[in-house]
Amino acid sequence: MSGNGKRGDILVIGGGISGITAAIEAAEAGANVTLVEKEPFLGGRVARMNLYFPKMCPPSCGIEINIRRVKTNPQIRTLTLATVEKISGGPGAYKATIRKDPRYVNAKCTTCGECVEFCDVERPDSFNLGMGTTKAIYMPYEMAYPARYVIDPAVGDPKETCAKAAEACPYGAIDLAMEAEIEEAEFDAVIWATGWAPPDATQFEGLGFGDYANVVNNVTMERLSALNGPTAGKIQRPSDCEAPRSIAFVQCAGSRDENYFKHCSGVCCMASLKQARYVRDQNPEAQIYIFYIDIRAPGRLEDFFTAVKEDEKLSLIKGKVANITEDSATGKLTVEAEDILSGQRVAQEVDMVVLATGMIPQGIGDTKVEGGVELDEHGFLAINQPQGYLAAGCAKRPVDVATCNRDATGVALKALHLGAE
Amino acid sequence: MEKKLAVYLCRGCDIGGALDMSALKDVATDEYKIELCHEHDCLCGDEGRELIAKDVNDGVNSVVVAACSPRFMTDVFTFDNVLTTRVNLREQVVWSHEANDEDTDMMAQDYLRMGIVRGQQAELPEPLEEEVDRTVMVVGGGATGLTAALDAAAAGNDVVIIEKEAQLGGWMSKWAKGIPHEAPYTAPQALDIVDQVAAVEANDKITVHTGAVIEKVAGMPGQFDVTLKGNGSEPFRVGSIVQATGWKPYDANKLGHLGYGISADVVTNVQMEEMLAAGKVIRPSDGKAPERIAFIQCAGSRDQDHLPYCSGVCCRVSIKQALMVREMSPETEAYVLYKDIRSPGQYESCYQKAQEDTGIFFTKAEVTGVTNGGGSLKVAAEDTLLGENVQLEADLVVLATGMVPRSADGELIRQYVDAKAVVAKGEEGAQLENAKVQVEELAYLEDAEILNLTYRQGPDLPTFKYDFPDSHFICFPYESRRTGIYPAGCVRAPLDGQAAKEDGSGAALKAVQALEVTAKGQAVHPRWGDMSFPDFALQRCTQCKRCTEECPFGTINEDEKGTPQPNLTRCRRCGICMGACPERIISFKDYSPGIIGNMIKAVEVPDEYDEKPRLLGLLCENDAYPALDAAGLKRIQHSKWIRFVPVRCLGSVNTVWIADALSSGFDGVLLIGCKSGDDYQCHFIKGSELMETRSGNVQEKLKQLALEEERVQIVQLPLNEFEKLPEIVNEFSDEIEDIGLNPFKGF
């Protein structure tokens, strides 16, 4: 008999899909895990996605199971609105300083929502990437975990924005005197699961992002397609809320590009093929154009590409988009590219453009790391770290959700080693 | 232990203001004669919890908490050694129905009745006590298997590796260099397979059997008894299994259209790899160094006539090989003819590096043929960047062939074995003819077994499309359909070397974890922590074999008579066997045909003169139940006639509940579960699908009773479409009202 020893304490930084998976898998294997997430809820980027490719299934389905695993496992401690300020040490003996920002709402919150009408200050809805607003006291989204309201101090001192709400709460759940707490803790292993963010696409010359209302990026497109998004799932042009009759997907927007980001994010092709399906499901007549360099649909994902190619109203144009212009009267856009198979210049007018922007790694954020971490030229954490740190998912390389889950599961085992006795 | 039950009614979150609380209390105290029934303004607050804790301290061991959904305040209402039953008065009643309404009160009372019945009849599960051996067996000694072995050993487990070849190392030990996976990702990278083999051989926690294949694996997680053939070793016991049996190249003999076989100078990427490892790239026909090499990508891949999928690595392999050739022999040119170059992530850097090489040319092309022509080979291609129809001369052609998993479809092998048995028995009849056909068609499966599991459902992991054995490959990539057995590496999906190794670590984690969890007597994913397990009252078994057949996880074997022999640590506790059993002899301590049936019977069905229909909703607790909660949170109203009962999986629904409900006056039954089919979302793989099949029988029964078929409906609802759920319920309710009340009401 073996394997009965202590499994150690693990710190997981980042509560997106990689962090959640690493935390759960390690805890179910016997470790004690502290899961630190900067937002007020777990789920990160995947919680904001509409559907996963290739099964076209909702992320909430997997998240629901994972959250059940988190909340019934006493070996997982979840800290939201928390960041790691400082970390030092090495395998078996890390010391972390964790900052927990005030939520202003305590565990007595029942999510009844009575407080909301007593607050008249609004904030941009960060769950919906700034599209729409919520009150200063809000539930991030209906399936959020922890299932608890939160007050956003960025739109005003909670003592002012939510004083009436605090009085109105029947359960004494609103605590406006709450302050940031600092916690020092020791861990045997640390997993960076800090994930990714989309690039600021306004920097991509010629693509019109930020200038033309109807040029959006792919993460916005997820929210525009989601039933719990700002348009209740209706894909529409931001300029006039009309459903687009034609749409162009611009692949490698800022990616595989010497001027911006050299790496390929590996998932944007599949994301656009999936989003083309969203469009098709809503409008059987819509014309869809995908401008690409290479369509990257590895493994069985190829089947999805094969199926999408059957769509007669979908055109694939091999060529990198050079320029997008807008007809300011109609909001229509002209996408210019060279079709390198025919050698012809293409200028395609469409109602809406989705820029398939890539994944920019978030590295170690603002955390001060004694001894530092090693990043590659793209900003991803190197596989072998001088201080023995582990990285999981998109902190390490740009990958899809399935690969994040695989990777995070494997990394969980590496973390167990560091705490095994 | 004697049951001591108490009921707690929460008045918080609008409940107190919307319901007739005293009438509700009467249900507990008068109807069910519960002595301990407390009301509180906020049960989840400190005072409320204290109130319950005090009773628990005084000996209460079953608490019925009528408050919010069990998905909220889960920890607050969990007490050691106490059965907690949550009655969802908030999301399902007051937030989704009119306040202070007679029908809303009736609904709340029914839910409380159901809760009390569960609280009375369910028992607190006790952990399954089985001995658990913590050894992990790794089948396959390639890079994936070795990584899994080293990682499992480092976590403290003993490990046994089974390798069919005489040496460890697999494909990787035959390559010179790998695809660059470390910064700066530009040059072919040295492999560490030799170090891995050495580390395995030096590790005293790891036992290696080379030149060995598995004759038999009997038993279940924690207790797998393994017999090998080929190396004379004694049988041994392991706890869990990682199947890292890897891949084989797609058979190039099928690629005659790409010139394979017409000339020795048309080789596969594997042959090229061997030449690179030998340090000399030559034309096999004359031993000369090639001047111009054509790499044909997707040779037999992304091709509906061959492998429809993409192997994901061949682009990067050809880039690596081109770079290596150029380094060894700078005057050799390489042409890469591709459909799409697939070098995701940082691997793009290596592609960029190759593009900068003046001797490597990349062009998109549909290769239409390779022919022999005067000492060299002619590659004909269409749709290239160089022009419409191009003929490229090359003196060596490399076919970038894809990866085929070394798997065996256990379920298909089982069909083959069963058919052979029928033929051997030789009893005349249609069955014999069918069996003969099947034996012929499946003859290729002779000796295909890998794990040789003694499972009734077949000797190997069931496979899905293209022979890859896995199931929930997005969210839960290691969940195979055989508990405690985890496929890893290229048998599970085509992967590059680094990804395969990482995959080995992931599978090893699951193998270690399965033992950790099983040793505690709990279920593994997705019902982690569940202590309940099925009990079979075999004296009443009629050997119908439905439980054996329908279990998605192959839990049940059977003896010669067909009596089920459950292997409980294989069980995931979904209850599908319980749903399948026509004799209702399978039950869990807290979930059984009796408990659920009695809960349904506890609903007060108004008589025909009241004109108040009653509908039963059987709701999958994984997705449909949270969807109803989310709709409630948004205060979306649904029909006041329905009463929901959560089920572990639609597959666990025993049709007796439906029949009993209809005969006791319910007017309709709505079943709501997860998606079935190729893109299934069912957490137990085929629960929804099985329910669809069973509902065929239900429809038959409806016909016999002269009841309309619309009275029983199945709906599949993805969780993100939760706002549609109330609509679905309302439509069902309207439809039933149109059809009219159940004529059996009152009988």
- Scanning B646-686, the segments in alpha helix (DSSP H) are 655-663
Minimal-distance CA residue of chain B relative to A8: B155
CA distances from B582 to A399, B423, B579, B593, B653 (A): 47, 30, 8, 10, 11
Same domain, A63 and A191: yes
End-to-end Cα spacing for chain A: 14
Nearest by CB to residue A341, choosing from B364, B516, B528, is B364
Interface contact A28-B528, CB threshold 8 A: yes
The CATH code of the domain that includes B468 is 3.50.50.60
| Residue A58: closest CA among A43, A72, A68, A70 | A43
Interface contact A299-B502, CB threshold 8 A: no
Interface contact A299-B309, CB threshold 8 A: yes
Using DSSP bridges, classify how beta strands B292-299 and B333-338 pair: parallel, antiparallel or unpaired: parallel
CB A301 within 8 A of CB B344: no
Interface contact A2-B683, CB threshold 8 A: no
Domain that holds residue B84: 1-124
- Domain assignment present for residue A175? The answer is no
Domain that holds residue A351: 199-357
d(CA A180, CA A161): 18
Interface contact A28-B513, CB threshold 8 A: yes
Among B369, B385, B403, give the residue marking a domain's end.
B403
Nearest by CB to residue A3, choosing from B13, B157, B722, is B157
Cis geometry, peptide bond prior to residue B330 (ω within 30 degrees of 0): no
Per CB-CB distance under 8 Å, the chain A contacts of B504 are 410
Per CB-CB distance under 8 Å, the chain A contacts of B503 are 406, 410
Interface contact B155-A417, CB threshold 8 A: yes
- Domain assignment present for residue B739? The answer is yes
Same domain, A54 and A125: no
Nearest by CB to residue B623, choosing from A5, A64, A263, is A64
Structural domains counted in chain B: 4
Same domain, A132 and A15: no
Per-residue pLDDT tens for A99-112? 999 999 999 999 99
**Across chain B, how many H-helices and E-strands are there?**
19, 32
Tally Cβ neighbours within 10 Å of residue B161.
24
The tokens for B695 are 């509902």
Its sign, for the CA torsion B148, B154, B156, B158, is positive
> What pLDDT, on the 0 to 100 scale, is given for residue A2?
37
| Residue B178: closest CA among B289, B309, B323, B336 | B323
CB B657 within 8 A of CB B596: yes
Same domain, A208 and A349: yes
d(CA B292, CA B352): 21
| Helical (H) or strand (E) element with A77 | strand A76-79
Put simply, the chain B residues between 88 and 107 with a CB less than 8 A from any chain A CB are none
Same domain, A232 and A337: yes
Contact of B303 with chain A, judged by CB distance below 8 Å, is answered with no
Same domain, A329 and A222: yes
Minimal-distance CA residue of chain B relative to A384: B182
The tokens for B55 are 């009773």
Interface contact B312-A299, CB threshold 8 A: yes
Same domain, A335 and A374: no
- Minimal C-alpha gap between B715 and chain A (Å): 16
Per CB-CB distance under 8 Å, the chain B contacts of A306 are 304, 308
Same domain, B220 and B278: no
Per CB-CB distance under 8 Å, the chain B contacts of A397 are 345-346
Using DSSP bridges, classify how beta strands B376-384 and B387-394 pair: parallel, antiparallel or unpaired: antiparallel
Same domain, B681 and B720: yes
Put simply, the chain B residues between 440 and 499 with a CB less than 8 A from any chain A CB are 465-466, 468, 472-478, 493-494, 499
| pLDDT above 80: residue A420 | no
> Which residue ranges in chain B fall short of pLDDT 50?
none
Backbone dihedral region for residue A113 (phi beyond 0: left; psi -120 to 50: alpha; all else: beta): left
d(CA B149, CA B238): 13
Contacts of B602 (CB under 8 A, 6+ apart): B110, B113, B114, B116, B117
Q: A280: helix, coil or strand?
A: helix
- Minimal C-alpha gap between B427 and chain A (Å): 43
Among B387, B403, B419, give the residue marking a domain's end.
B403
Interface contact B674-A61, CB threshold 8 A: yes
- Domain assignment present for residue B657? The answer is yes
Interface contact A300-B465, CB threshold 8 A: yes
* Owner of token pair 């160089």: B386
Burial of residue B598 (CB within 10 Å: 0-12, 13-18, 19+) is middle
Q: Could you list the beta-strand ranges (E) of B317-422.
A: 333-338, 360-364, 366-373, 376-384, 387-394, 396-401, 403-405
Contacts of A298 (CB under 8 A, 6+ apart): B310, B311, B312, B342, B344, B494
| pLDDT above 70: residue A4 | no
Nearest by CB to residue A112, choosing from B14, B154, B719, is B14
- Minimal C-alpha gap between B722 and chain A (Å): 9
Q: A237: helix, coil or strand?
A: coil
End-to-end Cα spacing for chain B: 38
Per CB-CB distance under 8 Å, the chain B contacts of A68 are 71
Interface contact A110-B720, CB threshold 8 A: no
Contacts of B223 (CB under 8 A, 6+ apart): B130, B131, B132, B133, B237, B239, B569
Tally Cβ neighbours within 10 Å of residue A384.
10
Per CB-CB distance under 8 Å, the chain B contacts of A294 are 338, 340-342
- Domain assignment present for residue A174? The answer is no
Minimal-distance CA residue of chain A relative to B631: A142
- Minimal C-alpha gap between A331 and chain B (Å): 31
Q: B606: helix, coil or strand?
A: coil
- Domain assignment present for residue B552? The answer is no
The DSSP 8-state label assigned to residue B423 in this structure reads H
Among B81, B96, B124, give the residue marking a domain's end.
B124
Mutate to test the interface with A, among B476, B680, B683 (most CBs of A within 10 A): B476
| Residue B220: closest CA among B455, B55, B530 | B455
Cis geometry, peptide bond prior to residue B526 (ω within 30 degrees of 0): yes
- Domain assignment present for residue A255? The answer is yes
Put simply, the chain B residues between 12 and 31 with a CB less than 8 A from any chain A CB are 12-14
Minimal-distance CA residue of chain B relative to A419: B155
d(CA B197, CA B192): 9
Put simply, the chain B residues between 397 and 416 with a CB less than 8 A from any chain A CB are none
d(CA B207, CA B224): 16
d(CA A89, CA A389): 10
> What pLDDT, on the 0 to 100 scale, is given for residue B28?
98
Same domain, B642 and B679: yes
- Domain assignment present for residue B387? The answer is yes
| pLDDT above 60: residue A3 | no
- Domain assignment present for residue B539? The answer is no
CB B70 within 8 A of CB B88: yes
Contact of B308 with chain A, judged by CB distance below 8 Å, is answered with yes
Interface contact A61-B506, CB threshold 8 A: no
Nearest by CB to residue A409, choosing from B181, B494, B510, is B510
- Scanning B189-306, the segments in alpha helix (DSSP H) are 193-202, 269-278
Q: B494: helix, coil or strand?
A: coil
Same domain, B599 and B711: yes
Structural domains counted in chain A: 3
Q: How many residues does chain A have?
A: 421
Contacts of A74 (CB under 8 A, 6+ apart): none
d(CA A218, CA A220): 5
> What pLDDT, on the 0 to 100 scale, is given for residue A202?
98
Per CB-CB distance under 8 Å, the chain A contacts of B502 are 406-407, 410
Same domain, A72 and A125: no
What ipTM is given for this predicted complex?
A: 0.96
d(CA A201, CA A224): 18
d(CA A402, CA A412): 15
Interface contact B346-A397, CB threshold 8 A: yes
Cis geometry, peptide bond prior to residue A54 (ω within 30 degrees of 0): yes
Same domain, B219 and B263: no
Same domain, B273 and B313: yes
Same domain, B119 and B146: no
Backbone dihedral region for residue A30 (phi beyond 0: left; psi -120 to 50: alpha; all else: beta): left
> What pLDDT, on the 0 to 100 scale, is given for residue A1?
32
- Minimal C-alpha gap between A328 and chain B (Å): 36
- Domain assignment present for residue B720? The answer is yes
Nearest by CB to residue A58, choosing from B338, B465, B720, is B720
Per CB-CB distance under 8 Å, the chain A contacts of B184 are 376-377
Same domain, A258 and A365: no
CB B104 within 8 A of CB B93: yes
Same domain, B11 and B158: no
- Domain assignment present for residue B263? The answer is yes
Q: Could you list the beta-strand ranges (E) of B89-235.
A: 136-139, 159-162, 177-178, 189-190, 206-209, 213-220, 223-229
Same domain, B86 and B195: no
d(CA A296, CA A399): 12
Partners of A292 in the beta sheet? A318
Q: Could you list the beta-strand ranges (E) of B259-300.
A: 266-268, 292-299
| Residue A46: closest CA among A412, A415, A408, A314 | A408
The tokens for B263 are 């000339």
Contact of B144 with chain A, judged by CB distance below 8 Å, is answered with no
Minimal-distance CA residue of chain B relative to A17: B475
- Domain assignment present for residue B460? The answer is yes
Same domain, B68 and B21: yes
d(CA A178, CA A108): 14
Contact of B307 with chain A, judged by CB distance below 8 Å, is answered with no
d(CA B679, CA B197): 39
* Owner of token pair 């759960």: A24
How many residue pairs bridge chain A and chain B with CB atoms within 8 Å of each other? 258
CA distances from B308 to A172, A300, A307, B253, B404 (A): 60, 8, 11, 17, 11
Nearest by CB to residue A112, choosing from B13, B182, B345, is B13
Per-residue pLDDT tens for A236-261? 999 999 999 999 999 999 999 999 99
Minimal-distance CA residue of chain B relative to A172: B45
- pTM for the whole thing? 0.97
Same domain, B606 and B701: yes
> What pLDDT, on the 0 to 100 scale, is given for residue A5?
52
CB B531 within 8 A of CB B126: yes
Same domain, B85 and B199: no
The CATH code of the domain that includes A272 is 3.50.50.60
Same domain, A352 and A246: yes
Minimal-distance CA residue of chain A relative to B514: A29
The DSSP 8-state label assigned to residue B570 in this structure reads G
Angle formed by the axes of helices A17-28 and B497-519, to 10°? 40
CB A78 within 8 A of CB A37: yes
- Minimal C-alpha gap between A299 and chain B (Å): 5
Its sign, for the CA torsion B681, B686, B687, B692, is positive
| B691-694 contact pairs (CB < 8 A, 24+) | B691/B579, B691/B650, B691/B651, B691/B653, B694/B579, B694/B580, B694/B653, B694/B655
Nearest by CB to residue A2, choosing from B156, B473, B506, is B156
Same domain, A237 and A256: yes
Same domain, A233 and A188: no
Minimal-distance CA residue of chain A relative to B386: A341
Per CB-CB distance under 8 Å, the chain B contacts of A303 are 308-309, 465
> What pLDDT, on the 0 to 100 scale, is given for residue B103?
98
- Domain assignment present for residue A139? The answer is yes
